Structure formats: structure tokens, C-alpha cells
């Protein structure tokens, strides 16, 4: 029986260099139609090549936020 993973909402600040490396790997994998693998706050994730890709912009209280987002349903 598989253990259900707890819900989480993690935001991690990274250096400019680390961000560029991760973004470049993401772009290469998306372009090639490959799954994207990354570790965030100790958890390994794999976004399948079929993941929905979106760009979000939020503005609230004088703060702007831009998110590049991958969304997918977990496999059972």
C-alpha cells in the first residue's frame, strides 16, 4: 500500500545562478519533450512531458509576482 504524501506549499529562494541553471534545464526538457526532474526542499519531483505549462502574474499591495508553472496530476 502506497503512503499518501502530505500536502505542501513551499517557496524557496535561490541564487540567480541556481535559478538560471534550473530554468535552462527546464527549457531544454520542455523543448525536447522530456520529463523535468528537480528536487525542492528535500523532495524529488518529476513533471511529466505532458504537464500543463502556464505563466501567472499577480499584483497585490504594491508587490508584483511572476510564476512559470508546471501542473500535472500524480500517477496512481
Closest by CA position to 36, among listed 56, 16, 14, 52: 52
Sequence spans of domains, the chain? 16-71
User: What radius of gyration, in Å, describes the C-alpha atoms of the chain?
Assistant: 14
pTM higher than 0.75, yes or no? yes
Grid coordinates given for 2? 502506497
pLDDT by residue for the chain (76 residues), tens only, comes to: 666 777 889 898 999 999 999 999 999 999 999 999 999 999 999 999 999 999 999 999 999 999 999 999 987 6
Grid coordinates given for 36? 523535468
Contact between residue 37 and residue 44 where contact means Cβ atoms under 8 Å apart: yes
Amino acid at each position: 500500500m502506497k503512503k499518501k504524501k502530505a500536502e505542501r506549499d513551499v517557496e524557496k529562494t535561490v541564487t540567480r545562478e541556481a535559478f538560471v541553471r534550473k530554468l535552462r534545464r527546464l527549457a531544454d526538457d520542455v523543448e525536447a519533450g522530456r520529463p523535468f526532474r528537480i528536487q525542492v526542499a528535500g523532495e524529488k519531483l518529476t513533471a511529466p512531458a505532458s504537464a500543463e505549462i502556464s505563466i501567472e502574474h499577480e499584483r497585490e499591495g504594491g508587490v508584483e509576482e511572476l510564476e512559470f508553472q508546471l501542473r500535472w496530476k500524480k500517477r496512481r
